[in-house]
């Protein structure tokens, strides 16, 4: 948010994915979040020592402020993958190859543009479909007027945005609420046929909105994925975003894009998708 003096207040999203053998944190917020982050994790039974992977979408301070809170985690900061004390590992992100964290379910992909080494995480097979934790590839749900001005490589970022929209059902932007990806059918007939197939197993918008009013952002594998996961690793993935926790703490529905707003009115849960 821009202030009258020309400065900008910003606080990046923090997302937790946990289940099976992995506990993954995507972005770690700014250094001003440090006093609160361990407590937010503890509400879900997670300690900093229990985080197995930290994925930082890019190196800006509002997304990468608290890395030393997670001493046992494998760290991916942009294209830098490290484990332990200064041990850097090879990977193919810079050449466009994905980094598989949990094959078939969790992968990191290169999404250059906002910064040259920007990455995003894709969670496939969740109850919401494929969820893209996109960092600042998408600044917010309605960022059409601002993302280019903040981009190091606007054309690269446009391609990265298009690539995420092509595969994701829900996008978690770098700031603010997640949103749904809406696609248009190429043929009117296909659209009408889709509307007629009322027994396809897909929930209608009213049902989704009733669930979303609860103010949480969580995703788990569908039933088939859950059974497979339980056999393989004894758990399923659930996803939450830090702004949901802030709503629980403060009981309000502000956007929560910056500290000042948090102090004054709290932040919203990530349960309303557009």
User: pLDDT at position 166, please?
Assistant: 95
The CATH architecture to which 15-181+203-265 belongs is 4-Layer Sandwich (3.60)
Task: Say what the pTM is.
Answer: 0.67
What are the residue ranges in the chain where pLDDT is below 70?
Answer: 1-2, 8-9, 19, 184-274
User: pLDDT at position 50, please?
Assistant: 94
Q: Phi and psi of 257, rounded to 5°?
A: -85, -5
What length does the chain have? Answer: 274
| 46 alpha carbon, distance to own chain's centre | 18
Helix H, strand E, coil C: the string for the chain is: CECCCCCECCCCCCEEEEECCEEEEECCCCHHHCCCHHHHHHCCCCCHHHCCEEEECCCCCCCCCCHHHCCCCEEEECCEEEECCCEECCCCHHHCCCEEEECCCEEEEECCCCCCCCEEEEEEEECCEEEEEEECCCCCCCCCCCCHHHCCCHHHHHHHHHHHHHHCCEEEECCCCCEECCCCCCCHHHHHHHHHCCCCCCCCHHHHHHHHCCCCCCCCECHHHHHHHHHHHCCCCEEEEHHHHHHHHHCCCCCCCCHHHHHHHCCCCCCCCC
User: pLDDT at position 251, please?
Assistant: 43
What digits encode the pLDDT tens for the residues 140-195?
888 877 888 888 899 999 999 999 999 999 999 998 889 999 876 554 445 555 55
- Where do the structural domains in the chain lie, given as residue ranges? 15-181+203-265
């Amino acid at each position: 948010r821009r202030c009258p003096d020309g400065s900008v207040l910003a606080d990046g999203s923090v997302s937790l994915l946990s289940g099976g053998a992995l506990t993954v944190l995507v972005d770690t917020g700014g250094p001003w979040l440090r006093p609160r982050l361990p407590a937010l994790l503890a509400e879900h039974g997670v300690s900093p020592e229990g985080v197995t992977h930290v994925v930082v979408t890019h190196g800006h301070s509002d997304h990468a402020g608290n890395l030393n809170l997670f001493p046992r985690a494998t760290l991916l900061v942009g294209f830098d993958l490290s484990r332990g004390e200064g041990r850097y590992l090879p990977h193919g992100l810079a050449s466009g190859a994905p980094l598989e964290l949990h094959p078939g379910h969790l992968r990191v992909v290169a999404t250059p543009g906002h910064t040259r080494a920007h990455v995003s995480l894709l969670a496939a097979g969740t109850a919401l479909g494929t969820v893209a934790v996109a960092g600042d590839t998408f600044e917010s749900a309605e960022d059409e007027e601002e993302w280019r001005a903040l981009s190091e490589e606007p054309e690269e970022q446009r391609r990265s945005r298009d690539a995420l929209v092509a595969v994701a059902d829900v996008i978690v932007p770098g700031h603010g609420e997640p949103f749904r990806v809406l696609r248009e059918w190429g043929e009117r007939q296909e659209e009408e046929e889709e509307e007629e197939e009322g027994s396809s197993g897909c929930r209608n918008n009213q049902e989704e909105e009733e669930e979303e009013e609860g103010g949480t952002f969580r995703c788990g594998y569908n039933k088939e994925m859950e059974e497979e996961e339980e056999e393989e690793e004894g758990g399923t993935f659930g996803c939450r975003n830090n702004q949901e926790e802030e709503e629980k703490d403060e009981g309000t529905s502000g956007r929560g894009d910056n500290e000042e707003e948090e102090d004054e009115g709290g932040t919203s849960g990530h349960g309303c998708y557009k």
